Chain A
Amino acid sequence: MESADVLKIDALRLLRGKREILRGVQLAAHRGELLALMGLSGGGKTTVLRCITALEPFDAGSIALEGLVLHPGGTASRAVMRRLRRQVGMVFQFPSLFEHMTAIENVTLAPLHVNRESKGDAERRAMDLLASLGVGHRANALPRELSGGEAQRVAIARAMAMDPPLLLMDEPTASLDPARRGELGETLVRLKSGGRTLLITTHDDDFARAFADRVVILAEGEVVEEGPPRAVLTNPKHPATRALLAHE
């Protein structure tokens, strides 16, 4: 693991029944970069994120983060899990906000009960985060009262409130119109300043071209191509990459 790598995935394999979902995924993310994990639906992108967050156990390989390694079988100790939770944040494709809490309560829950911050501090930071994401005025709204884009930004604020060095986002552009995608891209660029690493899954090549530092193409459970977005997406070498671009 190079010192600049905050995440290194080695020969990651995962089976569901007899189907091999991930077939030896090899992947590294460097500090401070925005890495786009691309591929057609069903290629295993989301599964990779779920393995990194230990939501799903894998069958072979390893996932190394700064100071901790996840092994097959999902047998991480409590101490490892605690450290993992401090290092990795995640924003789901469907924001999965806590339906019974207002936007700001969603954001302050973990700071209050995991970090044991004071209520005043947690709320002040949460308001700053919501405001910086353009949803400060929705702080007291319930999730069901938010639009799709607003809910996503509240979910980003919720993840950012724990200040994770590595932030994973699953298909953040999927439910946004083009104008909103641009705004989101700029937000992500801002988030990575200060050394935070972002790993997002997407099949939106325009978005990747505009904002990603590097892209990794995943097809049928394997990394088939990777490099700077302009190079990979302008001059695709692998048939899967070409299919992805044609699909768009």
Chain B
Amino acid sequence: MLLVRRCPFLILLAVLPAVPALHAAPPPLRWGGDAEGGAPYVEADPNDPSRVRGFDVEVAGEIARGLGRRAEFVQVAFNSIDQSVERGDFEIGMSGVEDTPARRAAHAVTIPYYEFHEVLTVRAADGDRFRTLADLRGHRVGTLGATIAYEILEGQRVELVSYDDDVHPYEDLQQGRLDAVLLDNIIAARRVRRIPGLFIEPLPVATGHYIAVLAHDNTALRDRIDDVLRARMRDGTLERIDRKWGIWDRYQQPFFASVLSGKTSAAAQPAAPQPRKLVLAYIPLLLRASVVTVILSCAAMALAIFVGIGIASGRVYGNLAVRAALTTYVEVVRGTPVLLQLFVLYYGLSVVIRLPAFLAALLGLGLNYAAYESEIYRGALDAVPRGQLEAARILGLTEGQVLRFVRGPQAFRLALAPMTNDFVALLKDSSLVSVITVVELTKQTQIFATNIGSWVVPGLLCAALYLALSLPLSRLARTLEVRWKAPTS
């Protein structure tokens, strides 16, 4: 009171925060998550798709409230949450972010706020056959890339299939492309409800926890968030949220108790291996992935050339109907993203025909590039001087012979340099096929980067491998261009 009497303006200062017009509001708490992951984590609100909802959304809201701030959602790809938080796109990342030794080593992480289990989902008919991972030896098991489940499967003698999302693995399981899916029990329970014919094995494979991740040096904010989380565990707010989203189970109460007593703080997994060791361990994987890239690119290019020649010949020699059909093909393929075409081939067509992933990738890239190749060949065929074609016809050569001996070889020489350039482009575009579970060079690099928590070494290694593949090709293109200059007349 003495203070008040002596300094009346202090009273004014004390009430200022309550007057919004005079006081700037604290900045919103920007938090990143992936709405594609869906409920119960983060999903677009069906009533207002510009907003998100989910249990992670509510936990983030509680954290913001506890800090006296307003939560602001930032959409980010699940695989990029760690990198984005580190570069400052948002302050905390959370949407089913798992507590792993690598994450703890590379970033600041909060105390865990939910305990989940990695569970196996199989087709109902296989319920008795594949009870544990050991039963699945040599079988195809799918999971989300860059997760604990992925790391568990890497150490098993199963054929590991990596996905970018957690919906398609279950669809592929139902359709027989996979024999099992290993993922968090929350995800499994939700998918099994929607996709008939699936069964969750009761024996959990592993236990894990969700945490929120912050930039490495942001420990001050992390500590304040930990306080908020503990308070919300104590006062029942987290339980209320979990119950609301149907994920409260018998494991949560003891888990909260152990967190509050300070027992569950370190990750349950073995300690993170040394980064240098990890890099060495990944080099053979990267080399193997680049073999996939090379085989896929070569096979897709061969298909593109073969089909491209057919399309170009049809457009140059065919009747009106053939020309119209082929023109439509070329325009549709060139006018739509190859990513979309891959999705349609792999997932869209699966009702009719279930293509294996590599074959779908090969067809998708090959048929896409065929459209571009055909345009090169058509231009090259048209560029062969008409006088030569007429001279050949007058000599008595059939149209087929004119194409084979006169037009084709010259068009081929004209097309070779642009074709080689396209091959280099295809080599790089082959990275797109990771969306349909093919692990090639870029995908392997991404997994590598996520596991060691940095893009520097994996990115440099990956770039070096691509360059080692593409530079000789570019050189070949230049050499051919010089050797087979277009005829001058």
Interface residues of A (CB under 8 A from B): 53, 55, 82, 85-86, 88-90, 92, 94, 96-100, 109-110, 113-114, 143-144, 155, 158-159, 162
Contact = CB atoms under 8 A, between A and B. Distances in A.
B488 A144 contact: yes
Contacts of B409: 100
Given A55-B393, A85-B393, A98-B410, 11 more contacts: A53-B390, A85-B395, A94-B387, A96-B387, A99-B385, A99-B410, A109-B405, A113-B401, A113-B405, A143-B487, A159-B395
A158 B390 contact: no
A99 B388 contact: yes
A90 B387 CA distance: 11
B413 interface: yes
B397 A109 contact: yes
Contact of A90 (B394, B406, B487, B488): B394
The binding surface of chain B is classed by DSSP as helix
A55 B392 contact: no
A92 B387 contact: yes
Ranked nearest first, the 8 interchain pairs of A and B with the lowest CB-CB distance are A96-B387, A99-B487, A85-B396, A110-B395, A114-B396, A96-B391, A90-B394, A96-B388
Interface string B393-422: 111110001000110011001000000000
A53 B394 contact: yes
Given A99-B410, A99-B489, A55 B390 contact: yes
A173 to B, nearest CB: 18
A114 B391 CA distance: 14
Contacts of A94: 387, 489
Contacts of A82: 396
Given A92-B387, A100-B410, A100-B413, A110 B396 contact: yes
21 contacts: A53-B394, A85-B393, A89-B395, A96-B387, A96-B391, A97-B391, A98-B388, A98-B410, A99-B410, A99-B487, A99-B489, A100-B410, A100-B487, A109-B392, A109-B395, A109-B397, A114-B395, A114-B396, A114-B401, A143-B487, A144-B489
Given A99-B388, A109-B405, A88 B487 contact: no
Contacts of A109: 392, 395, 397, 405-406
A156 B487 CA distance: 21
A55 B394 contact: yes
Contacts of A97: 388, 391
Contacts of B392: 98, 109
A25 B488 CA distance: 36
A86 B397 CA distance: 11
Contacts of A113: 397, 401, 405
B444 to A, nearest CB: 43
Given A99-B487, A113-B401, A113-B405, A92 B391 contact: yes
A88 B396 CA distance: 10
A109 B489 CA distance: 20
A162 B413 contact: no
Contacts of B396: 82, 85-86, 110, 114, 162
B394 A85 contact: yes
A28 B406 CA distance: 33
Interface residues of B, number: 20
Nearest to A86: B396
Nearest to A92: B387
A55 B410 CA distance: 22
A98 B391 CA distance: 9
Most B C-beta atoms less than 10 A away, residue of A55, A99, A114, A155: A99
Contacts of B406: 98, 109
A155 B391 CA distance: 9
A159 B395 CA distance: 7
A158 B395 contact: yes
A94 B489 CA distance: 9
A144 B410 CA distance: 14
Contact of B395 (A99, A143, A144, A162): A162
A244 B413 CA distance: 44
Interface in B445-489: 487-489
B125 to A, nearest CB: 62
A144 B487 contact: yes
Nearest to A96: B387
Of the listed residues B394, B396, B401, B410, the one surrounded by the most CB atoms of chain A closer than 10 A to its CB is: B394
A114 to B, nearest CB: 4
Contacts of B397: 109-110, 113-114
Interface string B370-394: 0000000000000001011011111
A132 B391 CA distance: 22
A106 to B, nearest CB: 9
B204 to A, nearest CB: 69
B314 to A, nearest CB: 22
A67 to B, nearest CB: 16
Given A109-B405, A144-B487, A144-B488, A96 B395 contact: no
Contacts of A143: 487, 489
Given A94-B489, A100-B410, A100-B413, A88 B394 contact: yes
Given A90-B394, A109-B405, A114-B395, A96 B385 contact: yes
Contacts of B394: 53, 55, 85, 88-90, 159
A96 B387 CA distance: 5
B487 A92 contact: no
Contacts of A162: 395-396
A113 B399 CA distance: 12
A158 B390 CA distance: 13
A12 B388 CA distance: 26
Nearest to B413: A100
A92 B390 CA distance: 9
A144 B488 CA distance: 8
A159 B394 CA distance: 9
Nearest to B387: A96
Contacts of B388: 96-99
Contacts of A159: 394-395
A96 B384 CA distance: 11
A88 B387 CA distance: 16
A97 B389 CA distance: 10
A89 B392 CA distance: 11
Nearest to B404: A113
B150 to A, nearest CB: 54
B19 to A, nearest CB: 85
Contacts of B385: 96, 99
B197 to A, nearest CB: 61
Contacts of B401: 113-114
Contacts of A155: 391
